[in-house]
Amino acid sequence: MRWSSSILCLLSGLLVSAQDAPQVFTQASNDSLLWGAYRPNVYFGLRSRLPTSLTTALMWSRAEHYETMANTFRYTCEQHSGIKGYGWDVYDPRTGGVQTIRDQENGIDLETSFVKFDEGRGGWGARIKGTVRDDAQPGSGSQNGVKEQLKTMLLFTVGVEGERSVSKVVDTEAANDNGFKGDVTIEGQGESMGPFRITITEPESNSHPVHNHPSYQAKPLDRTYVHSMMMPQEALWQGKALAFRSMKATIDQYGEEYTENTMPPPWQTYTISHEPGAGNVHLIQKSYDGDFQFDVFFTPSTQGIQPTSKDLTKAIQKVTEDFNAKYAAVLAPQAPFTGKQYLPFSKALFSNLIGGIGYFHGEHLVDRSYAPEYEEENEAFHFATAEARARNQQKVEGPYTLYTSVPSRPFFPRGFLWDEGFHLLPILDFDPEVAMQIVSSWFEGLMDEDGWIPREVILGQEAASKVPAEFQVQYPHYANPPTLFMVLEALLDKAKYGSGENALDQGLLKAWLERLYPLLQRNYEWYRETQYGDLKGYDRGEIRSRKEGYRWRGRTPQHILTSGLDDYPRAQPPHPGELHTDLLSWIGMMTRALRRVASFLGQSDDAEKYGKTLEAIKRNVDDLHWDQGNRTYCDVTVDDFEESIHVCHKGYISLFPFLTGLMGPEHKHLGAMLDLIADENELWSPFGIRSLSKSDELYGTEENYWRSPVWMNINYLVLENLLRIAEISGPHAPRATRMYTALRQNLVSTVYRGWEKTGFAWEQYNPESGEGQRTQHFTGWTSLVVKMMAMPETPVVGRAGGRHDEL
Ligand code: 6A9
């Protein structure tokens, strides 16, 4: 009996891999996350979290100008395309959301809604609703009454991924060339999905373009045109190219019959060829005069009942109401941000962050040559590294899968490791399990045997299409700040202190962490083994640990992209003896998080071990990096006389021991940190904390990316740590309280003003003017402003909660 059960244990131990380990999340929880707007790269793209899925997208353009159509045709999210803001006003990954797109150039506002029926098991519905804008300019087809006559053409695409998937249009009323008069229905069966049905339907109230051109009879535009085609898998995501290809056939046909002057109007010329049938891509085209609306339903065939447009109307209302109620319970802005303008702002930023979650699947490029030059051992290492990289030794790896949020839908629609830790902080307030699934995806889906996780994750051709070739290759010895460990700490806090809507079940967290724990440890060891610093020069007795000092690999004279603070000034020239303040601090944070996880799981030996390392790190932060003359923390390098010296550029780097929570309220250098932050000639600006001191000689120079602008991720860490110091009694609590209150006000006003003025959140903010700059529609860590608003107006000394007990 004992013998056979231990054999069983052994067998199951062998068979169970991390991927199919016992389910931590319930089936219902997974079902409700199956479908989503998981293609953040396009304005409205739905798919499932299955590697081969049904995928959809929307394209549209005003159709009254031959010349500009190619430019005003929308598909992938782009910057500066005449759109005055777009994004989710409401989005819950489990139920659905509502997005508004203010397309000024096309004269139309679109509302795209997406809702799941029966928590996802009953399929989903999507509604596309167009309203002519008040500022729409008359076009060639609408001299009078632009409101009624503005012509919009739209294409909804349905792709069915997988070599063995099948789908076809059910040809009910379209036996001839003249399009569908009524609903369009597609039936199919996906490789990894059961049989399904798609129905596209619209109310009678829509109005369609008419024209008395002689060719009109051949193309009645009150019809829906459908072009089904069979395409190679890698072409399925290329909706715009497929649509243009199909329209070209029509244009060529007219080209023969008519001259430039006698051509049919553009809204008729730009029609796809009507070829409904079997295929793996179906383009569905509709044309409208003025306002319009149509619905799309996806229904698993196991589902007897097909929801109606009325059901959809109700469901959209319910999704919105439920979202609002939940939002108010978990992320409601606190005073002084209780004015009615702040709530929609907060919801929109949050909805775009959480609505930017994507599902990515495919291959990527990794250079695993382990070329000797990558050792970075001698003083000219960066020349050798550059040469080795230029030899292009990358290979395709994968396919991998990543479930993640993205920094920016138009510009960076892919995963970034250290951004993600920041994204998940607000997300875990709303739905901790979603955050946990994302963390799992990074560790279980991407990490290699050595414990490496790529910094930037570009899976598949759709993701790669937005990255220049030279930026695509990932290197297995390059790191990025381990911010996912901040998420672990936040989850532990939530399980300990959360209640009501803010609760997280301890049992669930435990089961999940048990499964993740070996992977977390592997990742941690990878950082320590690959990014170690050379402490030989410190063998002078006063350094109690000779291990805890670290150096980012992968630097060039101008950049340490791996640190995330790309062009922040560092030692010149680069030297293999450098020690980086930020990296030691990050590893301190990581060690603390692991120690907390270990004690939570009852692994007391591990907890003790991590506790000792943490102490050594805290000591070395001060022993190695504190510069008494400058009263700040500094990087270290080795000079011409082989002496270790400090390299001091005051700014975010100097604050890292504070930002990562390594300094308690009594810390001897805390006062100096607060001085630096509060000084207007150094870091304090009316718009937030500057990345580099105004007094640094390199302030605002060269690319000026991390050399003066205000970044919200780091500002969030400043704010959070000020709050912590303010709430634990200590010598600096009163001052930290004042700084917290002022900084919170400054940061929220800055992001709010930019959003009000431009309709967008921005990648960073100008420290002189407060203007948003660089990437537009940067809905990643700038969305942390929703957490800033939800933080208390006044710190309460002695308040329990958060990581206070860790200081
Ligand atoms: C290169 C450019 C047309 C830079 O938010 C993502 C990252 C941050 O992780 C990092 O800290 N951003 C910050 O310094 C954007 C990085 C984009 C790199 C892509 C290709 C496209 O050129």
The model's pLDDT over 597-626, given as tens digits with 9 standing for 90+, comes to 999 999 999 999 999 999 999 999 999 999
- 416 and 324 share a domain? no
Model confidence pLDDT, tens digit, residues 780-804: 999 999 999 999 999 998 876 656 6
Q: CATH number of the domain that 114 lies in?
A: 2.70.98.110
ipTM reported for the complex, 2 dp? 0.96
- 251 and 364 share a domain? no
- 321 and 385 share a domain? no
- Known catalytic residue at 566: yes
Beta-sheet strands, E only, within 535-691:
626-627, 632-633, 635-638, 644-647, 684-685, 688-689
pLDDT of residue 144: 63
Residues 6+ away with beta carbon under 8 Å from 770: 686, 687, 750, 753, 754
Asked if residue 422 has its Cβ within 6 Å of ligand 1, the reply is no
- 437 and 309 share a domain? no
Substitution site in 566, 586, 706, 713 for ligand 1 pocket (most atoms within 8 Å of beta carbon): 566
660-684 as b/e, with b when 16 or more CB fall inside 10 Å? bbbbebebebbebbbebbbeeebbb
Distance from C-alpha of 748 to C-alpha of 731, rounded to nearest angstrom: 27
Please tell me the pTM assigned to this model.
0.95
2 has a pLDDT exceeding 60: no
Nearest by Cα to 397 from 364, 369, 370, 367: 364
β-bridge pairing 688-689 and 684-685: antiparallel
Distance from C-alpha of 772 to C-alpha of 644, rounded to nearest angstrom: 40
HSE-CB for 374 with a 13 A CA cutoff = 17
Taking CA atoms only, the protein residue closest to ligand 1 atom 16 is: 412
Substitution site in 405, 409, 416, 781 for ligand 1 pocket (most atoms within 8 Å of beta carbon): 416
Q: Give the end of a domain, one of 473, 500, 527.
A: 500
The residue among 656 and 306 whose pLDDT is bigger is 656
Tally of CB atoms within 10 A around 3: 7
Q: What is the 3-state secondary structure (H, E, C) of 210-278?
A: CCCCHHHHHCCCCCEEEEEECCCHHHCCCHHHHHHHHHHHHHHHHHHHCCCCCCCCHHHHCCCCCECCE
Give the confidence band of 3 by pLDDT, cuts at 50, 70, 90: very low
pLDDT of residue 7: 39
How many domains does the structure of the chain reveal? 2
What are the φ/ψ torsions at residue 667 (nearest 5 degrees)?
-60, 140
Closest atom, ligand 1, to C-alpha of 566: 14
pLDDT of residue 176: 64
- 274 and 129 share a domain? yes
- 380 and 314 share a domain? no
Nearest by Cα to 100 from 344, 333, 403: 344
Model confidence pLDDT, tens digit, residues 509-541: 999 999 999 999 999 999 999 999 998 766 544
SS3 680: coil
Average pLDDT of the chain is 92
Distances (CA, A) of 797 to 668, 786, 792: 20, 23, 12
pLDDT of residue 323: 98
Model confidence pLDDT, tens digit, residues 155-195: 999 999 999 999 999 976 655 668 898 899 999 999 988 99
pLDDT of residue 19: 45
Distance from C-alpha of 670 to C-alpha of 616, rounded to nearest angstrom: 19
pLDDT of residue 147: 86
Lowest mean pLDDT among 5-14, 97-106, 621-630: 5-14
Give the confidence band of 16 by pLDDT, cuts at 50, 70, 90: very low
Give the confidence band of 384 by pLDDT, cuts at 50, 70, 90: very high
Share of the chain above pLDDT 90, in %: 82
Give the confidence band of 133 by pLDDT, cuts at 50, 70, 90: very high
Cα(763) to centroid(ligand 1), Å: 10
Tally of CB atoms within 10 A around 278: 14
Model confidence pLDDT, tens digit, residues 198-230: 999 999 999 999 877 888 777 888 899 999 999
Structure tokens at 257: 């019959």
Taking CA atoms only, the protein residue closest to ligand 1 atom 5 is: 407
- Residue 485's domain comprises 358-404+408-500
- Residue 325 domain-assigned? yes
- 213 and 259 share a domain? yes
- 379 and 319 share a domain? no
Residues 6+ away with beta carbon under 8 Å from 269: 66, 250, 251, 254, 263
448-486 as b/e, with b when 16 or more CB fall inside 10 Å? eeebbbbbbbbbbebbbebeeeeeebbbbbbbbbbbbbb
Give the confidence band of 256 by pLDDT, cuts at 50, 70, 90: confident
- Residue 111 domain-assigned? yes
- 249 and 162 share a domain? yes
Nearest by Cα to 45 from 473, 293, 441, 359: 359
- Known catalytic residue at 397: no
Model confidence pLDDT, tens digit, residues 60-74: 999 998 888 889 999
SS3 405: coil
Considering the candidates 397, 566, 615, 623, report the single residue annotated as catalytic.
566
560 has a pLDDT exceeding 60: yes
Asked if residue 407 has its Cβ within 6 Å of ligand 1, the reply is yes
Strand partners, 54: 160
Tally of CB atoms within 10 A around 283: 26
Residue with tokens 């070329």: 371
Give the confidence band of 355 by pLDDT, cuts at 50, 70, 90: very high
Contact at 8 Å (CB) between 682 and 695? yes
Tally of CB atoms within 10 A around 353: 29
Q: Give the end of a domain, one of 314, 330, 346.
A: 330
- 297 and 153 share a domain? yes
- Residue 798 domain-assigned? no
Phi-psi group of 273: left, alpha or beta (phi > 0 → left; psi -120 to 50 → alpha; rest → beta):
beta
- 369 and 313 share a domain? no
Distances (CA, A) of 262 to 79, 213, 255, 313, 363: 36, 9, 10, 43, 49
Residues 6+ away with beta carbon under 8 Å from 224: 179, 180, 184, 200, 284, 285, 286
Distance from C-alpha of 141 to C-alpha of 374, rounded to nearest angstrom: 62
- Residue 595 domain-assigned? no
Mean pLDDT of 653-657: 98
